[in-house]
Amino acid sequence: MASSSCLKIFYTFLLLTILLEGACATTCDLSSLRITQTITTRQVAGKPEYEVNVSNWCACAQSNVRLRCAGFKTVEKIDPAVLKQDNEFCLLLSGKPLKQNADVQFRYASDTPYNFTVASSKIQCN
């Protein structure tokens, strides 16, 4: 008796886990990473500074976040641990996960704002 109800609980949890994972994987797409930017009051080398905010609205962490970066140039150095440019892509947080509801910011300076978009990410539900 006792062991069979234990088994039931176990299977219920197993089912829930599978359902949750399924729901997460299907509801989180690239649009769950939202990018906003604002102009700051600072100037760097005579160019306006912008602050970019990337936030994760997915119920799961997302790692290996890559932004499209083709032609992106900044006169203000960005900490490569936050954003590392590699030709047309920029790797966020060295590929480390951005947790659920977490956000990360970086600043750059250039004549015109750059329109960042998300190229890819790895959704990590567990």
The reply to whether 115 sits near ligand NAG by the rule CB under 6 A is yes
What is the DSSP annotation of the chain? -HHHHHHHHHHHHHHHHHHHHHHHHHH--GGGEEEEEEEEEEEETTEEEEEEEEEE-SSSEEEEEEEE-TT---SS---TTTEEEETTEEEEGGGPPBPTT-EEEEEEE-SS----EEEEEEEE--
Contact with ligand NAG (CB under 6 A): which of 20, 44, 48, 55? 55
The reply to whether 110 sits near ligand NAG by the rule CB under 6 A is no
Which x/- pattern, by CB under 6 A, does the window 7-46 give for ligand NAG? Answer: ---------------------------x------------
Rounded to the nearest whole angstrom, what is the least distance from the CB of residue 54 to ligand NAG in the complex? 8
Rounded to the nearest whole angstrom, what is the least distance from the CB of residue 117 to ligand NAG in the complex? 5
